[in-house]
Amino acid sequence: MDNFTHSLAGWALGQTGLKRKTRKGLAALVLGANMPDIDVFFSWVPWEPLAMHRGFTHGLVGGVLLMPPILAWLLWLLDRWQLRRGASFKSGLEMRFGWLVALSYAGAITHPLLDWQNSYAVQLLSPYSDLWFHNDSLFIIDVWIWCGLAFAIWLSRRRERRGDAQWGVPPAIALLTVVAYISANAAITGAAKAAPTYAAPYVTPDRIFVTPEPVLFWRRNLTWKKDGHVAWGEFDPLRKSGGLLSYTPAMPDNLSDPLVRQAMTANDDVEDFLQWSTMTVAEVERGDCTAIVRFGDARFAGRAAGQFTRTVTLPLSGTGCPSPASD
């Protein structure tokens, strides 16, 4: 999910009353909810699990177990530094390090749980497994969650300023509503995943991803693979109660092509992309002396092509073509 959603989740937790448990409690919740995305700055590191976005820092070990105490310690150090400079705190709260750690954990665990909801997927078991988990219940930006949590936070803060003892109720209700909303979307996704099996095209996919549409959250775009072929479909329970609204003919993913197999190990960038891509497809453009192989991910066909594709140029042997040794 986007970082605004993660921030709202941490903030809403704080407005339930948790932010009053310790000084810097709200900071622990909001920063903890965003902390796993620190891996976007680590593409240069030599350790591949850390360099992979939604890998180690999003997993149960890195993001949920190891990183929250580090965040709590940094916030505690900041608080000590502020005190030495004579800072005063309007909240009047004491610093309770145990609560600071607990709130850092509470914020952090919301991050992989939310990222798990969309088709971009997350490696929950990294670094012990590169298996991708995806619940396919939310689009990566959900304006309904934005509006619900933001309104609840605004209402809570308004009540808090007025001295209303029930100021923590609106965000608590909003968070429960978000859980119910995600559960309902997961049920729609389950129906969408089953649709190709009981109606045309009557296929049981080897792998299937379902992506909700933005705003129109009940609609689903499907991408599936079966026996080296990929297809796409649409599901809308409001327009068609059973089966897919539409679907494409299955197309070969071309991964068995010898040139594609050769291109898969052409460079580190391609290998990293293939480790991330879970619905890889390839196109081969053969010339007289070279072949261009383009890798893509079928989940993102037609979207941000430069970001979700990799291209490799391979030399071909033939009359009049230079040999690889002469390059």
Phi and psi torsions of 225, nearest 5°: -120, 145
Rounded-to-integer distance, Cα 228 and Cα 205, Å: 10
Looking at residue 51, what is its pLDDT? 60
Tell whether 239 and 258 lie within a shared domain.
Answer: no
Q: Which of 33-37, 50-54, 238-242, 302-306 has the lowest mean pLDDT?
A: 302-306
Q: Structure tokens of 322?
A: 């230079």
Rounded-to-integer distance, Cα 314 and Cα 290, Å: 5
Decide if 145 is inside a domain: no
Which of 94, 115, 134 corresponds to the end of one domain?
A: 134
| Host domain of residue 76 | 3-134
With a CB cutoff of 8 Å and minimum separation 6, the contacts of 248 are: 231, 232, 233
Confidence of residue 327 (pLDDT cuts 50, 70, 90): very low
- Half-sphere exposure in the Cβ direction for 277 (13 Å, CA): 24
Tell whether 16 and 120 lie within a shared domain.
Answer: yes
For the chain, what is the domain count?
3
Tell whether 46 and 126 lie within a shared domain.
Answer: yes
- Cβ atoms within 10 Å, residue 320: 6
The SS3 of residue 92 is coil
Looking at residue 306, what is its pLDDT? 58
Tell whether 227 and 126 lie within a shared domain.
Answer: no
Q: Name the residue among 5, 36, 10, 37 with its Cα closest to residue 24.
A: 10
Residue 92 has pLDDT above 80, yes or no: yes
Tell whether 305 and 266 lie within a shared domain.
Answer: yes
Residue 190 has pLDDT above 90, yes or no: yes
Tell whether 17 and 120 lie within a shared domain.
Answer: yes
Looking at residue 288, what is its pLDDT? 80
Decide if 153 is inside a domain: no
Tell whether 112 and 24 lie within a shared domain.
Answer: yes
Residue 325 has pLDDT above 60, yes or no: no
Mean per-residue pLDDT, 64-81: 95
Tell whether 209 and 119 lie within a shared domain.
Answer: no
Rounded-to-integer distance, Cα 250 and Cα 201, Å: 10
Rounded-to-integer distance, Cα 191 and Cα 175, Å: 25
Tell whether 268 and 223 lie within a shared domain.
Answer: no
Confidence of residue 121 (pLDDT cuts 50, 70, 90): confident
Looking at residue 40, what is its pLDDT? 78
Decide if 183 is inside a domain: no
Rounded-to-integer distance, Cα 277 and Cα 271, Å: 10
User: Tokens 């490696």, residue?
Assistant: 123
Tell whether 71 and 106 lie within a shared domain.
Answer: yes
Give 104 or 50, the one with higher predicted confidence.
Answer: 104
Q: Name the residue among 206, 67, 54 with its Cα closest to residue 130.
A: 54
Mean per-residue pLDDT, 127-147: 92
Q: In this structure, what DSSP letter does residue 213 have?
A: P
**256-294 tens-digit pLDDT:** 999 999 999 988 888 888 888 889 999 999 888 888 999
